[in-house]
Amino acid sequence: MKRVLSGIQPSGRLTLGNYIGAMKNFVKLQDLHQCYFMVADLHAITVPQQPETLRDLSEANAALFIAAGIDPAKSNVFLQSAVPQHAELGWLLTTLTTMGELERMTQFKEKSNGKESIGAGLFVYPSLMAADILVYNADLVPVGEDQKQHLELTRDLAGRFNHRYGECFTLPEPYIPEVGARVMSLDDASKKMSKSSSVAASFIALLDPPDVIRKKISRATTDSGAEVRYDEATKPEISNLMSIYSQCSGSSLEDIRLKYEGQMYGGFKKDLAEVIVNTLEPLQKRYYEIRESGEIQDILAQGARNAHEVASRTLDDVKQRMGFLPSKH
C-alpha cells in the first residue's frame, strides 16, 4: 500500500479542470492506497483572499471532495492549516531551496506577471508544497500537468535533504491522467481552465446549474471548421472539448470522432453539455446533502487528527537530523 497526498487551494469554486485533472484520480486511488487529501488554505493566501470568502470556500471545497466520491472512511480529508507541521516543514525546506529554483517556476512567472506588488509567499509556494508532500512521505501525488514542475522540485529537495542529513524522505512520483491532464479555458484554449479566473464563461464550476453549463458549452470558442477531430496543434478548442467529453463519459477520443463524423459542432456541443450535466448532477445532489447535514466539521476534525499523527513523526525526525534540540511541551 502506497501513501498518496494531494490538495487543492480554496482560491475559487472547484472547476471541471480540478475534477478531471485531480479529483477523479483521488477517488480512484483511495481504494488501493493510504490517502491524504487537503484543502490547501495556506497556499490560497499567497494571493489576497477575503477572510469570509476563504472560510466559505474552504468548507465548500471540502464538501465537494466528499461529494465527488472521496470516502472519509477510506481517505483523510483535512484543512492544511489544521496541521501546523506543513508550515513548519515548509520553512525548513525553504532554507534548502535556492532563489534560482524558485525563479524558474512557471506558475510563479504566470501568477506574478504584470503585478506591481508580489507577495513573498507566492515565490516560496513550491517549498511549502514540497513540505505538504514530504511530511507524509507520500509515494504518489495525483495532480494535473501544471503541477509537474513543482513535483520535480519536491523530488530535488527530498534528494538534497537525504544527501545532507541521511535517508529520511521518499521521492514522490506524480500521478497524472493521460487524457484531461490540462483542461483548457472555454474561451481561450491557450490558457488552462482556472478556478480563480474572473471570466465565469471560461470555466465550468462543479456547482454550476444545468442551464448555466448548457449556456457555457454552447458559447465555448471553436474554430471555424466543422470537423470533430482531436488535434491539439491545429484544433485546440475542439480537442479540449473532446477530452472533457471523453473524461466525463468514458468514451475514447476515437469513438467520439466516429460518433460525430460528418456532423457540425452544434450537435456535438449539445451532447457534451448533457454529458457534463449528467456527470455533475449526482455530485451536486450529494454536495447539498452534505452541507445540510453539517457532517463536514467532523470529517475535517478526524482527518486532521490522523494527518497530525503522521506529520508530527516526520517533523520530529527532520528536526532531530537538522540539529534542533528536542522541545519539551
Which residues participate in catalysis according to the annotation? 111, 192, 195
For residues 8 and 22, is the Cβ–Cβ distance under 8 A?
yes
Judged by CB under 6 A, the residue of 3, 21, 151, 268 near ligand AQP is 21
Q: Which stretch binds ligand AQP (CB under 6 A): 5-13, 27-35, 167-175, 228-236?
A: 5-13
Question: What is the Cα 237 distance to its own chain's centre?
Answer: 22
Judged by CB under 6 A, the residue of 144, 172, 174, 303 near ligand AQP is 144
Dihedral angle, C-alpha 86, 91, 97, 102, nearest 10 °: 80
Say whether residue 126 binds ligand AQP (CB under 6 A).
no
For residues 7 and 42, is the Cβ–Cβ distance under 8 A?
no
In the complex, the smallest distance separating the C-beta of residue 323 from ligand AQP, rounded to whole angstroms, is: 32
Element (H, E) at 169: none
What's the CA gap between 201 and 220, in Å, rounded?
8
For residues 177 and 21, is the Cβ–Cβ distance under 8 A?
yes
| String of DSSP letters for 279-301 | HHHHHHHHHHHHHHHTTHHHHHH
Judged by CB under 6 A, the residue of 3, 4, 5, 8 near ligand AQP is 8
Say whether residue 24 binds ligand AQP (CB under 6 A).
no
Q: Which stretch binds ligand AQP (CB under 6 A): 71-79, 190-198, 218-226, 321-329?
A: 190-198
Judged by CB under 6 A, the residue of 182, 214, 216, 269 near ligand AQP is 182
In the complex, the smallest distance separating the C-beta of residue 151 from ligand AQP, rounded to whole angstroms, is: 10
Closest to ligand AQP by CB, 196 vs 302, is: 196
Say whether residue 137 binds ligand AQP (CB under 6 A).
no
Radius of gyration over alpha carbons of the chain, in Å? 21
Q: Which stretch binds ligand AQP (CB under 6 A): 155-163, 177-185, 217-225, 314-322?
A: 177-185
Judged by CB under 6 A, the residue of 196, 221, 284, 312 near ligand AQP is 196
Judged by CB under 6 A, the residue of 4, 22, 79, 296 near ligand AQP is 22
Placement of cell 482560491 in the chain: 11
Give me the residue whose beta carbon is nearest to ligand AQP.
21
What's the CA gap between 9 and 11, in Å, rounded?
5
Greatest extent of the chain over all pairs of C-alpha atoms, in Å: 73
Phi, psi of 39 (to 5 degrees): -85, 115
Q: Could you say which residues in the range 25-64 bind ligand AQP, by CB under 6 A? A: 40, 43
What's the CA gap between 196 and 13, in Å, rounded?
8
Closest to ligand AQP by CB, 43 vs 235, is: 43
All three cell numbers of 8? 487543492
User: Total binding residues for ligand AQP by CB under 6 A?
Assistant: 24
Which residues would be at the binding site for ligand AQP (CB under 6 A)? 8-9, 11-12, 15, 17-18, 20-22, 40, 43, 143-144, 146-147, 181-183, 192-196
